């Protein structure tokens, strides 16, 4: 392994670390001098003398309890065993050095030790993954101290490591980094190694002329800098290069030159003397271990003497405790009685808790079932109403059709209210981000409530602050739901009057625009004693024979939704004078983000005619509604009644997307999708269901479905998901 890849510290850095005030006869400066000599002898490959001085430096550093110098000495000792190819000993001492280095704040030392351990595990143990991990740790410490020289050194080792196992593509970026920064940050003793690595890369790439030049420069530089091991590696790699190019005569000559240098470096007598010094070093380690054991025995003897004192104290305490036990005995029966009562109470509480949890589970299941069973026919009612309005323009202004549409949407609103209050109570509502125009949203609500307004001969007035930005970002659906409840309430309890919807910009902080909304009427008002309870669930006040009854959930939902916006609702009302609700919500104003959201929701229907859609739906009315929505917007559509028919058709015919109902006879939508995925993993499958999305998401994804649409839905949402899923499949 090339010596240039091992790291030995410079004495100037040691001196900069300061002095330790100790009573020991040793000094930090003396240890630094010993380590300096040990490093010099190791550079000269005089292993015996290097181990001798490192051993003495280690003994003195341990005496001073100087973690930095202990780690330094272990690093030099390990470097000797590294060059002697005693890999296990080298790793042992490198690890000891790292354990002491980690007790210091010196990232330079940690960098060197991690680098050396990376060399050992990569080159010697062939544990490449572990070696790379140590190299990366070395780079991390180098980056912490912003030492480009050390980072360059480690990346040179990483390049060499990858070249050594033939991964030239992975090693090349590291070498490029070395080449780029070497002139400014490279050390003199690494010049030959850098040239050698460039020669190896050029040889691998088949650029023989360039490789030959690099190898010759590497050999010349190793001779000039007296780097014997780098010279030997240069001879070895050049020999391989010559053999590859067919110059076997010179290849053999350089191989002999490589062997000659290795014999000089690892002279048998020199290695024998080094082994003797290494044995002395190991004896020192054993002696220190014995000393630790002796110290531990002394501590145990002292502990024994303390134990005797503790025994005496224990006897005294025992007598005192006996007296206390006598006194406490009188309370035992009383405590037993109390404990028995507590156990009974706990058992009753546990039973009550289980019943409450079961009731909550049944409530959630009931709400889910009811909402699904109601949404399914409502999908048909709302869809058919829209179809009639589209196909028979003469009926658009028909009061009967408008009444039907209003009744259907009110019933849907009722279902959503019940589901919404349940979600809010279980903390399952998350606000979304939409781009919207405040005036447009309020105008839509005004138009949708004209039926109620006309019935009571009311006027709806909109007052929007012109300072409010045209487009804001926030959950417009929740905001619309708040206004829908507040305005419909105002219209129900006002006759021959006026309802004002107002939006006023209070302030803006950065991108947050704080808008105060108010809904004011001149209706019957709310008595003071009723104002606290109107936000409770199922509460109705001022109910008369001909009043629009409602569920009593509206204001409860409004209060909870406004709290989701980190705000609160305020009420001001006087009987026979009118009522005003107001609240403030901060929305985001960000033109760039607004454009991104708009781009994401725009739907391109120009290619719809080329898309084949399979609808799997057992309800005939819903089949007709879904087919009509798709065909009216250019999609080609095929409908089947159940999952088995869908599987059979998909085996023979290719579709661009499948819209899958969940609750079907024979086999449900989940099982149908699982069977489809056994032979077709590409066609997107989207659940088209009346179930709540959160209830089925996990099972839908596990069955192989790609997305979920809840019925009833906005057609634009359906087209957006269809185009998105088809687009994803085409780009994969």
Any idea what DSSP says for residue 246? Answer: T
Which residue bears the tokens 């090339």? 2
* Res. 292: pLDDT tops 60: no
CB 209 within 8 A of CB 199: no
* Res. 232: pLDDT tops 60: yes
> Cα angle at 472 between 471 and 475, to 5 degrees?
130
Per mean pLDDT, which range of 216-220, 333-337, 415-419, 603-607 is the poorest? 603-607
Euclidean distance between CA atoms 42 and 3, whole angstroms: 10
What confidence score (pLDDT) does residue 387 get? 66
Any idea what DSSP says for residue 146? Answer: T
Give the mean pLDDT of 140-151. 85
Euclidean distance between CA atoms 238 and 446, whole angstroms: 87
Domain 187-264 has CATH 1.10.1240.10: no
* Res. 273: pLDDT tops 90: no
Give the mean pLDDT of 318-322. 81
- Token code pair at residue 616: 């799997």
Euclidean distance between CA atoms 664 and 661, whole angstroms: 7
What confidence score (pLDDT) does residue 6 get? 53
- pLDDT tens sequence across 84-132: 878 888 899 999 999 998 989 888 888 889 989 988 887 787 788 888 8
* Res. 599: pLDDT tops 70: no
HSE at residue 179, side-chain half, CA atoms within 13 A, is 14
* Res. 709: pLDDT tops 50: yes
Top mean-pLDDT range of 234-238, 300-304, 709-713, 716-720: 234-238
* Res. 4: pLDDT tops 50: no
* Res. 609: pLDDT tops 90: no
Give the mean pLDDT of 606-620. 82
Euclidean distance between CA atoms 95 and 615, whole angstroms: 66
CATH architecture classification, 608-731: 3-Layer(aba) Sandwich (3.40)
Q: Considering the chain, what percentage of its residues have pLDDT values greater than 70?
A: 77
Euclidean distance between CA atoms 655 and 646, whole angstroms: 11
Same fold, 432-599 and 608-731: no
The whole-chain average pLDDT of the chain stands at: 81
- pLDDT tens sequence across 277-289: 565 666 566 555 5
Euclidean distance between CA atoms 382 and 412, whole angstroms: 9
Give me the helix-helix angle, 643-652 and 669-677, nearest 10°: 20
Euclidean distance between CA atoms 685 and 657, whole angstroms: 6
Euclidean distance between CA atoms 430 and 547, whole angstroms: 34
What confidence score (pLDDT) does residue 612 get? 92
CATH match for 432-599 among 3.30.565.10, 3.40.50.300, 3.90.1150.10, 3.40.50.880? 3.30.565.10
- pLDDT tens sequence across 446-455: 887 887 888 8
Helix (H) or strand (E) holding 29: helix 28-43
What confidence score (pLDDT) does residue 633 get? 86
* Res. 198: pLDDT tops 80: yes
Name the residue with higher pLDDT: 370 or 192. 192
What confidence score (pLDDT) does residue 529 get? 80
Give the mean pLDDT of 365-377. 58
Please spell the DSSP secondary structure of 92-121, one letter per residue.
Answer: HHHHHHHHHHTTSS-HHHHHHHHHHHHHII
Euclidean distance between CA atoms 125 and 116, whole angstroms: 13
What confidence score (pLDDT) does residue 417 get? 59
HSE at residue 596, side-chain half, CA atoms within 13 A, is 7
Handedness of CA 406, 412, 414, 417 (dihedral sign): negative
Euclidean distance between CA atoms 76 and 97, whole angstroms: 9
> Do strands 636-640 and 685-689 pair parallel, antiparallel, or not at all (unpaired)?
unpaired
Side-by-side strand order, sheet with 685-689: 636-640, 612-616, 657-660, 685-689, 707-710
What confidence score (pLDDT) does residue 10 get? 44
Per mean pLDDT, which range of 105-119, 313-327, 609-623, 653-667 is the poorest? 313-327
CB-based contacts of 391, cutoff 8 Å, min separation 6: none
First-to-last alpha carbon distance for the chain, in angstroms, is 47
Helices (H) and strands (E) in the chain, counts: 25, 12
Euclidean distance between CA atoms 511 and 444, whole angstroms: 26
pTM metric for this prediction: 0.41
CB 114 within 8 A of CB 84: no
Which residue bears the tokens 């839509």? 444
Give the mean pLDDT of 175-195. 89
HSE at residue 32, side-chain half, CA atoms within 13 A, is 14
Euclidean distance between CA atoms 666 and 203, whole angstroms: 69
Across 434-510, the runs of DSSP E, i.e. the strands, are 434-436, 459-464, 472-474, 498-509
Q: Which long-range contacts (CB under 8 A, 24 or more apart) does 640-643 make?
A: 640/614, 640/615, 640/616, 641/617, 642/616, 642/618, 642/666, 642/667, 643/616, 643/667, 643/668, 643/669, 643/671, 643/672, 643/675
User: Sorting pLDDT into bands at 50, 70 and 90, what band is 400?
Assistant: low
- pLDDT tens sequence across 44-95: 888 888 888 988 989 898 989 899 999 999 999 988 888 787 888 889 999 9
* Res. 208: pLDDT tops 80: yes
| Residue 728: CB atoms within 10 Å | 12
* Residue ranges per structural domain of the chain: 187-264, 432-599, 608-731
Q: Considering the chain, what percentage of its residues have pLDDT values greater than 90?
A: 29
User: Sorting pLDDT into bands at 50, 70 and 90, what band is 548?
Assistant: very low
CB 78 within 8 A of CB 38: no
> Do strands 472-474 and 434-436 pair parallel, antiparallel, or not at all (unpaired)?
antiparallel
Give me the helix-helix angle, 67-83 and 107-119, nearest 10°: 20
CB 79 within 8 A of CB 47: no
CB-based contacts of 680, cutoff 8 Å, min separation 6: 650
User: Sorting pLDDT into bands at 50, 70 and 90, what band is 233?
Assistant: confident
What confidence score (pLDDT) does residue 512 get? 93
Nearest partner of 1 among 56, 82, 64, 71, judged by Cα: 82
CB 93 within 8 A of CB 55: no
């Amino acid at each position: 392994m090339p010596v240039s890849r091992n790291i030995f510290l410079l004495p100037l850095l040691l001196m900069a670390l300061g002095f330790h005030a100790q009573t020991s006869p040793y000094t930090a400066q003396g240890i630094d001098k010993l380590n300096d000599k040990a490093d010099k002898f190791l550079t000269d490959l005089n292993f015996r003398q290097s181990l001798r001085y490192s051993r003495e430096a280690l003994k003195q550093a341990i005496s001073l309890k100087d973690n930095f110098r202990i780690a330094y000495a272990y690093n030099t000792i390990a470097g000797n065993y590294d060059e002697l190819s005693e890999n296990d000993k080298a790793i042992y001492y490198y690890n000891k050095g790292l354990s002491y280095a980690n007790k210091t704040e010196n990232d330079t030392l940690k960098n060197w030790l991690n680098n050396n351990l990376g060399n050992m595990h990569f080159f010697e143990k062939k544990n490449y993954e572990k070696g790379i991990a140590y190299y990366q740790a070395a780079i991390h410490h180098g980056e912490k101290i912003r030492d480009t020289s050390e980072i360059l050194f480690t990346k040179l080792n990483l390049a060499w490591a990858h070249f050594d196992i033939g991964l030239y593509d992975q090693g090349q970026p590291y070498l490029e980094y070395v080449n780029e920064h070497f002139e400014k940050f490279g050390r003199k003793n690494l010049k030959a190694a850098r040239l050698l690595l460039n020669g190896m890369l050029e040889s691998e790439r088949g650029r023989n002329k360039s490789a030959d030049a690099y190898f010759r420069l590497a050999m010349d530089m190793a001779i000039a800098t007296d780097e014997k091991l780098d010279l030997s590696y240069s001879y070895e790699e050049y020999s391989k290069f010559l053999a590859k190019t067919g110059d076997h005569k010179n290849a053999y000559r350089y191989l002999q030159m490589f062997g000659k240098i290795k014999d000089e470096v690892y002279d048998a007598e020199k290695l024998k003397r080094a082994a003797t010094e290494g044995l002395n070093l190991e004896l020192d380690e054993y002696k220190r271990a014995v000393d630790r054991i002796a110290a531990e025995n002394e501590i145990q003897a002292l502990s024994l003497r303390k134990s005797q004192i503790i025994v005496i104290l224990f006897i005294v305490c025992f007598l005192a405790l006996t007296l206390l036990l006598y006194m406490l005995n009188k309370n035992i029966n009383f405590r037993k009685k109390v404990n028995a009562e507590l156990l009974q109470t706990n058992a009753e509480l546990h039973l009550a808790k289980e019943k409450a949890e079961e009731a909550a589970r049944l409530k959630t299941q009931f709400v889910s079932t009811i909402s699904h069973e109601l949404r399914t026919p409502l999908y048909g009612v709302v869809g058919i109403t829209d179809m009639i309005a589209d196909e028979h323009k003469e009926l658009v202004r028909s009061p009967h059709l408008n009444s039907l549409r209003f009744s259907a949407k009110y019933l849907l609103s009722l279902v959503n209210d019940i589901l919404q209050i349940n979600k809010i109570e279980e903390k399952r509502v998350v606000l979304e981000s939409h781009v919207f125009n405040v005036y447009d949203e309020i105008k839509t609500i005004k138009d949708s409530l004209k039926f109620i307004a006309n019935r009571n001969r009311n006027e709806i007035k909109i007052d929007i602050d012109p300072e409010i930005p045209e487009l804001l970002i926030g959950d417009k659906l929740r905001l619309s739901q708040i206004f829908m409840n507040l305005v419909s309430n105002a219209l129900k309890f006002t006759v021959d009057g006026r309802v004002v919807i107002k939006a006023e910009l209070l302030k803006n902080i950065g991108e947050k625009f704080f808008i105060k909304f108010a809904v004011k009427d001149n209706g019957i008002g709310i008595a003071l004693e009723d104002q606290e309870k109107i936000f409770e669930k199922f509460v109705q006040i001022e109910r008369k024979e001909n009043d629009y009854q409602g569920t009593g959930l509206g204001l409860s939902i409004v209060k909870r939704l406004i709290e989701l916006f980190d705000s609160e609702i305020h009420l001001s009302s006087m009987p026979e004078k009118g009522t005003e609700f107001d609240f403030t919500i901060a929305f985001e104003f960000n033109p760039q983000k607004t454009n991104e959201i708009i781009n994401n929701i725009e739907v391109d229907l120009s290619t719809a005619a080329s898309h084949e859609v399979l609808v799997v739906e057992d309800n005939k009315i819903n089949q007709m509604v879904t087919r009509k929505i798709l065909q009216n917007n250019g999609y080609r559509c095929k409908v089947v009644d159940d999952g088995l028919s869908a599987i059979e058709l998909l085996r023979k015919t290719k579709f661009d997307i499948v819209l899958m109902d969940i609750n079907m006879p024979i086999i449900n939508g989940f099982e149908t999708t699982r069977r489809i995925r056994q032979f077709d993993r590409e066609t997107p499958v989207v659940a088209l269901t009346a179930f709540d999305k959160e209830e089925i998401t996990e099972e839908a994804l596990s069955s192989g479905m790609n997305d979920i649409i809840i019925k009833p839905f906005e057609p634009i949402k359906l087209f957006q998901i269809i185009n998105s899923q088809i687009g994803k499949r085409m780009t994969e």
